[in-house]
Amino acid sequence: MSVKETQNPSASGTRWTAHHRQAPDAGATEPPVTPEVSSSTLRHSNSPARTWISRHLNRGWRALGTLFSFTLFGCGGLVIGLLAAPMLNVLYREPRKRQHTARRLIAFSFRGFLMLMRGLGVLEYRLSHVSRLKRPGQLILANHPSLIDVIFLLAYTPNADCVVKGKLATNPFTRGPVRAAGYITNQDPQDVLEAAGHSLAQGHSLILFPEGTRTTPQRPIKFRRGGANIALRIGTPITPVLILCAPPTLSKEHPWYHVPARKVEIELHVLDDIPLPTDKQQPMAQTARRLTHQLSDYFNQELEQRRHERNPRPVA
């Protein structure tokens, strides 16, 4: 008898089997040996077809998950506008308390929305140094690669104010939350400066996307001077937030129903504060222009570095 060790690929450990061989009778012939086909061979024999089916099923599921998530998001906006906001008007006579409560409700809802999208497999996200957003009275400047960037920032920044597009104040799905929270609309630049200064003076944090619109994928970031003007006039340091989104999604070139081939991964990095220029001799407009260029260069360099860390170039 000879003992041979064989390992079953589908088992967790090693299986030992004994093969008994007897001397063949004279003149007898041994039956032909049939090669053993392992279960792993059968499992991987049609792997290309399985991979193709699995990939398309996953993409279809993420499309349904995206549709469900944004449908729920719109319904949530209607509920806040039609039910929650009137209730807050009754419960809180003071506008400041009413807005603070509305912002807490929105932050809680947005965190639940992000957890839902992660649970459905629509996206995955990673937050770095997000505790820095809990400090009051800070000016938060972020790049804007996707539509849901503001959801991340409002979800994790307590009592945050935000500069939003004017059309969001009239959209039936967003006007309720925008008005209840008292967010600032960007219809008049001068009004934005005054409202931003008033908000920061009250200890609120202010979220601003200095690009003015969503980033075009594969193009450098180019900030406008609004963020620099607010920082210089108010005299508050800048808290930069770097947002990475791969593959690109929910940009101006990628509507929500264009589901990427693989799951979206979003990274949000809260970086060290950027101090303001100390030179008071230069005119405000010139200082703001120079600070805007510095901020654009800083964000582009950080983005390039983070992308290189995620996808290092192969060594030749």
The answer on pLDDT for 23 being more than 50 is no
Q: What's the mean pLDDT in 134-163?
A: 94
pLDDT at 234: 87
pLDDT band with cut points at 50, 70 and 90 for residue 8 = very low
pLDDT at 165: 85
pLDDT band with cut points at 50, 70 and 90 for residue 36 = low
pLDDT at 217: 83
pLDDT at 259: 87
14, amino acid identity = T
pLDDT band with cut points at 50, 70 and 90 for residue 279 = confident
CA–CA separation, 136 and 270 (whole Å): 15
Q: What's the mean pLDDT in 54-75?
A: 91
Of all residues in the chain, what percent carry a pLDDT higher than 90? 53
Six-digit token pair at 148? Answer: 């849901």
pTM: 0.79
Residue 130 is classified by DSSP as G
pLDDT at 21: 45
Q: What's the mean pLDDT in 142-150?
A: 94
Give, for 17, the enclosing helix (H) or strand (E). Answer: strand 15-19
Residue 204 is classified by DSSP as -
pLDDT at 15: 38
The residues, ordered by sequence, that sit 6+ positions from 173 with a Cβ below 8 Å of its Cβ are 73, 74, 77, 78
pLDDT at 53: 83
pLDDT band with cut points at 50, 70 and 90 for residue 316 = very low
What are the tens digits of pLDDT across the range 202-260?
A: 889 999 999 988 888 888 999 999 899 999 988 888 999 999 999 988 888 888 788 88
Phi/psi at 165 (5° precision): -70, 145
The residues, ordered by sequence, that sit 6+ positions from 34 with a Cβ below 8 Å of its Cβ are none
Burial of 242 (0-12, 13-18, 19+ CB in 10 A): buried
pLDDT band with cut points at 50, 70 and 90 for residue 312 = low
